[in-house]
Structure 1
Amino acid sequence: MIKEFLVKGLHCGSCAAKIEDKAGKLSNVNRVIMNFATSTLTIEGSKKHMDSIVDEVKIIVDQVEPGTIVTEKNHTSNKDIDKKEIEEDTSNKSRLYRMALGILVFLGALYFKEEPFSLPLFIISYFAIGKDIILKSVKNILRGELFDENFLMTIATVAAFAIGEYPEAIMVVLLYEVGEYFQERAVESSRKSIADLMDIRPDYANLQVGDDLKKVSPYDVNRGDIIVVKPGEKVPLDGEIIEGSSSLDTAALTGESALRDVTKGDEIISGFININGVLTIKVTKNFKESAVSKILDLVENASGKKAKTEKRITKFAKYYTPVIIIAATMTALLPPLLMEGQSFDTWIYKAAIFLVISCPCALVISVPMGYFAGLGASSKNGILVKGGNYLEALTEIDTVVFDKTGTLTKGNFTVDKIVGVNGTSKDELLKYTSYVESFSNHPIALSIIKEYEGAIDKKLVKEYKDVTGKGVMALVDGVSVASGNKRLMEQFKVECGPVKEVGTIVYTAIDGKYAGYIIIKDEVKKDSKEAIRKLKDNNIKKVVMLTGDKKEVADLVGKDLNIDRVYSELLPQNKVEKVEELYNENIKGLAFVGDGINDAPVLARANVGVAMGGVGSDAAIEAADVVIMNDEPSKLATAIKIAKRTKEIVNMNIGMSIGIKLLVFVLTFMNLGSMWLAIFADMGVSTLAVMNSMRILKE
Structure 2
Amino acid sequence: MNKKQKRTRNRIVLAIALFVVVYVVAELLPLSTWLGSETTALWVEFALFLVPYLIAGYDVLLRAAKNIGHGQVFDENFLMSVATIGAFALVLFPDSDPHMAEGAAVMLFYQVGELFQSYAVGKSRKSIADMMDIAPDFANVERDGRLVQVDPYEVAVGDEIVVKAGERVPLDGVVTSGTSQLDTAALTGESVPREVREGDEIISGCINMTGLITVRATKPFGESTVSRILELVENAAEKKAKTENFITRFARYYTPAVVGIAVLLAVVPPLVLGQSWSDWVQRGLIFLVVSCPCALVISVPLSFFGGIGGASRLGILVKGSNYLETLSHAETVVFDKTGTLTDGSFNVVAVHPSSDIDPDWLLSIAAHAEAYSNHPIALSVRAAYSGPIDQQRIDDVQEQSGHGVRARIDEHVVLVGNDKLMSECGVGCHDCELTGTILHVSLDGEYIGHIVIADVVKPDAAEAVAELRTAGVKKTVMLTGDRADVAAAVAKELGIDEFRAQLLPQDKVAEVEKLLEETHAHATGKGKLAFVGDGINDAPVLTRADIGIAMGAMGSDAAIEAADVVLMDDKPSNIARAIGIARKTMGIVWQNIVFALGVKFLVLILAAVGIANMWLAVFADVGVAVIAILNAMRAMNVRKR
In the alignment, which residue of structure 2 is the partner of 1:498? 431
TM-aligned CA deviation for residue 406 of structure 1: 1.1
Alpha carbons 1:146, 1:152 under 8 Å: kept: no
Aligned mate of 2:530, from 583, 587, 591: 591
Aligned mate of 2:548, from 574, 598, 609: 609
Q: Distance in 1 between matches of 2:310 and 2:347?
A: 37
Alpha carbons 1:531, 1:635 under 8 Å: kept: yes
TM-aligned CA deviation for residue 225 of structure 1: 3.0
Q: Distance in 2 between matches of 1:113 and 1:127?
A: 22
TM-aligned CA deviation for residue 641 of structure 1: 0.4
Kindly tell me: are residues 179 and 417 of structure 1, through their superposed partners in 2, closer, same or farther at Cα, counting changes over 3 Å? closer
Identity %: 50
Q: Distance in 2 between matches of 1:232 and 1:672?
A: 65
Alpha carbons 2:15, 2:53 under 8 Å: kept: no
Alpha carbons 1:422, 1:514 under 8 Å: kept: no
Kindly tell me: are residues 438 and 135 of structure 1, through their superposed partners in 2, closer, same or farther at Cα, counting changes over 3 Å? same
1:649 aligns with 2:582: no
Kindly tell me: are residues 120 and 482 of structure 1, through their superposed partners in 2, closer, same or farther at Cα, counting changes over 3 Å? closer
TM-aligned CA deviation for residue 251 of structure 1: 1.3
Alpha carbons 1:558, 1:566 under 8 Å: kept: yes
In the alignment, which residue of structure 1 is the partner of 2:228? 294
In the alignment, which residue of structure 2 is the partner of 1:541? 474
Q: Distance in 2 between matches of 1:523 and 1:87?
A: 55
In the alignment, which residue of structure 2 is the partner of 1:156? 83
In the alignment, which residue of structure 1 is the partner of 2:63? 136
TM-score (norm 2): 0.91
1:691 aligns with 2:630: yes
Moved more, 374-383 or 454-463: 454-463
Residue by residue over 1:98-142, the C-alpha shift from the partner in whole angstroms, topping out at 9 and shown as x without a partner, is 665566556545546434243433444443443223333333444
Aligned mate of 1:269, from 171, 192, 203: 203
Amino acid at match of 1:512: G
In the alignment, which residue of structure 1 is the partner of 2:162? 228
Q: Secondary structure at the match of 1:463?
A: strand
Moved more, 141-150 or 252-261: 141-150
TM-aligned CA deviation for residue 669 of structure 1: 3.2
1:445-594 residue pairs with structure 2 within 5 A?
445-585=378-518, 586-587=521-522, 588-594=527-533
Aligned mate of 2:218, from 284, 288, 296: 284
1:627-646 residue pairs with structure 2 within 5 A?
627-646=566-585
Q: Distance in 1 between matches of 2:456 and 2:72?
A: 66
Q: Distance in 2 between matches of 1:660 and 1:237?
A: 52
Moved more, 647-656 or 672-681: 672-681
Alpha carbons 2:136, 2:152 under 8 Å: kept: yes
Alpha carbons 2:368, 2:389 under 8 Å: kept: yes
1:181 aligns with 2:115: yes
Q: Distance in 1 between matches of 2:158 and 2:211?
A: 22
Residue by residue over 1:538-577, the C-alpha shift from the partner in whole angstroms, topping out at 9 and shown as x without a partner, is 1211111111111111111111111111221122222222
In the alignment, which residue of structure 1 is the partner of 2:182? 248
Kindly tell me: are residues 113 and 208 of structure 1, through their superposed partners in 2, closer, same or farther at Cα, counting changes over 3 Å? farther
TM-aligned CA deviation for residue 279 of structure 1: 2.6
In the alignment, which residue of structure 2 is the partner of 1:57? none
In the alignment, which residue of structure 1 is the partner of 2:47? 120
Aligned mate of 1:338, from 244, 255, 272: 272
Q: Distance in 2 between matches of 1:395 and 1:455?
A: 51
Alpha carbons 1:415, 1:520 under 8 Å: kept: yes
Alpha carbons 1:597, 1:623 under 8 Å: kept: no
Q: Distance in 1 between matches of 2:173 and 2:466?
A: 37
Kindly tell me: are residues 100 and 218 of structure 1, through their superposed partners in 2, closer, same or farther at Cα, counting changes over 3 Å? farther
Amino acid at match of 1:392: E
Q: Secondary structure at the match of 1:271?
A: coil
State the superposition RMSD in angstroms: 2.3
TM-aligned CA deviation for residue 635 of structure 1: 0.7
TM-aligned CA deviation for residue 651 of structure 1: 0.8
1:434 aligns with 2:367: yes
Unaligned runs of 5+ in 1: 1-8, 10-84
In the alignment, which residue of structure 1 is the partner of 2:618? 679
TM-aligned CA deviation for residue 87 of structure 1: 7.3
Aligned mate of 1:425, from 355, 358, 383: 358
In the alignment, which residue of structure 1 is the partner of 2:124? 190
Amino acid at match of 1:323: A
In the alignment, which residue of structure 1 is the partner of 2:315? 382
Kindly tell me: are residues 101 and 215 of structure 1, through their superposed partners in 2, closer, same or farther at Cα, counting changes over 3 Å? farther
Alpha carbons 2:284, 2:608 under 8 Å: kept: no
TM-aligned CA deviation for residue 214 of structure 1: 2.3
Kindly tell me: are residues 250 and 140 of structure 1, through their superposed partners in 2, closer, same or farther at Cα, counting changes over 3 Å? closer
Unaligned runs of 5+ in 2: 92-98
Q: Distance in 2 between matches of 1:94 and 1:577?
A: 63
TM-aligned CA deviation for residue 278 of structure 1: 2.6
Amino acid at match of 1:148: D
Alpha carbons 1:103, 1:125 under 8 Å: kept: no
Q: Secondary structure at the match of 1:163?
A: helix
Q: Distance in 2 between matches of 1:87 and 1:565?
A: 57
Kindly tell me: are residues 525 and 360 of structure 1, through their superposed partners in 2, closer, same or farther at Cα, counting changes over 3 Å? same
Residue by residue over 1:641-684, the C-alpha shift from the partner in whole angstroms, topping out at 9 and shown as x without a partner, is 00000000011111222122112213323433222332332233
Alpha carbons 1:99, 1:128 under 8 Å: kept: no
Q: Distance in 2 between matches of 1:545 and 1:172?
A: 58
Alpha carbons 2:11, 2:55 under 8 Å: kept: no
Aligned residues: 615
TM-score (norm 1): 0.83
Alpha carbons 1:245, 1:277 under 8 Å: kept: yes
1:43-62 residue pairs with structure 2 within 5 A?
none
